Chains A and B, each alone.
Chain A
């Protein structure tokens, strides 16, 4: 398997792209989808394999700088990072690359170069196309479609994985259908959520012929440095007064702010976390009953919920359960944080489950928020649950 390096996508693809198979990132215009191919390329070469990057609309020097912007140092990859320069010939510029397509508008010239690069690799690797749509624009739709079949077959001989960034401009229906459904072993849709403007981005699997396709759609953000991060716009942190919600939000977040008075949250806590390929905005509610109207307002559109309980204060558990009702959290993925596990008299997660009569499919995680013990494990658990929701 050749991993894509895209968070969650490899899980959904059962490990990545099988050697000899092909994948197309089918990108809607205006969505920053080319980073998918770049991330797959860098992930592959940084894991010791070979990667060939077919540059069709960018000067190779600039391509290396684009990788640098994400913190991906191509120099460290040495000769495992190879560029086929199908751009310089277009503007009549010289090239320092080993593989240069002298006439990028001639698909045969391009094919020859790509095949040569594939032959020269010292083992299975990945061939990533910066922009298949640019090649199609320059060489023609049908000519390019024929060439893709030829490239894919050639890659099979050498067990290379083929990865195409394709921007779905309004080509002919047949061409788009062919790209989306036929020509590659797998297709990943990379789209935008729009109303007036594109304000969110997602990816999902359209096709993968080596498995049953999970019907998942994942929101993502692109961060520099870093690359693609699965994005969860809203995780709610709620619970009774003095359970440690603000401490939990701050422990989890890379940056956080609280609106409080004398240490008690009176409006909200807000934090942002960027952790192991995931990024999320965290909203903490106040715990006192007099703020319940605010709690209701804060809880809308959450994708997952942490219920924070003080493990030493069983008397407040009922209030905790009540807060799940107020926030209308039932039905959403919930993780219960059994906080203050370091204090005397703290109940174990199983004791808390009994007292709350919580079903076993609701995880109860032992946490000491003051020193971050268990907070990231709890985050990973909740993220897994959010990602499993169809």
Chain B
């Protein structure tokens, strides 16, 4: 069981990513990480994967709209969003087929339950054997909790990703956390997608998924495609 990002040149360099792989996406603010993680989920959806997205910054409806806006033909019933925002804003929105509400980013227990429920639904009810879990972002969770708490949470869920042969992708803001935090969290991941600011914009590369890091590529996001240059 294998996966790819849907970022063509990176995928060619990396090759297939094995099931059970956990990947950190780290980059500076405003570098398009939200789009990148949605695009990774999107390319899974068009390949008949399920996508579970934990959103700590955008209400679930906005995330769902992103997918509907970019492609009306994707199987929307394969998307599950754990919304950690809406109830924090004081809106008592009920769960829907696509969106399950967590109480807040503090509520790691609740977030974990909702993730598990989507995994069960996709595996048991829809018989989907490939699932992508995208957590956007760990930085928000770290703002409300502390490093040991988030580490324990990730320790459990990176393990679940391995057990389910799924793909886990976790976003973290560069420059927002100290080195100790990043180094501690890195232990849990099999590889990284790194983003940095270059002379002509942002650049991207993959680390840990091949014997040597891939080269840095300038990139541009165009709808559901990430175009690499250089």
Contacts and interface: CB of A to CB of B under 8 A. Distances in A.
Interface of A: 27, 29-32, 34, 56-59, 61-62, 65-66, 69, 87, 90-91, 131, 133-134, 137-138, 165, 167, 169-171, 192, 194, 196-199
Given A57-B103, A167-B112, 20 more contacts: A27-B109, A29-B109, A30-B113, A30-B116, A34-B113, A56-B106, A57-B107, A58-B87, A59-B103, A66-B103, A87-B106, A131-B109, A134-B106, A137-B108, A169-B153, A170-B152, A192-B116, A196-B164, A197-B116, A197-B163
A138 B108 CA distance: 12
Contacts of B87: 58-59, 62
A280 to B, nearest CB: 18
Mostly, the A contact residues are mixed
Nearest to B92: A65
B90 interface: yes
Interface residues of B, number: 34
Interface stretch (B141-149, B191-199, B222-230): B141-149
Contacts of A62: 87, 92, 103
A32 B102 CA distance: 12
Mostly, the B contact residues are helix
Given A87-B104, A197-B164, A198-B119, A34 B124 contact: no
Given A137-B146, A192-B116, A58 B152 contact: no
B39 to A, nearest CB: 25
A175 to B, nearest CB: 11
A65 B95 CA distance: 12
Interface in B93-120: 94, 103-104, 106-110, 112-113, 115-117, 119-120
A133 B145 CA distance: 12
B4 interface: no
B165 interface: yes
Contacts of A198: 116, 119-120
A59 B164 contact: no
Nearest to A56: B106
Contacts of A57: 103-104, 106-110
B155 interface: yes
A198 B116 CA distance: 7
Contact of B107 (A69, A134, A194, A199): A134
A199 B123 contact: yes
Given A57-B110, A167-B109, A194-B163, A199 B156 contact: no
Interface string B65-82: 000000000000000000
A138 B146 CA distance: 8
Contacts of A197: 116, 119-120, 123-124, 160, 163-164
Contacts of A58: 87, 103-104, 107, 110
Given A57-B110, A59-B103, A171-B152, A199 B124 contact: yes
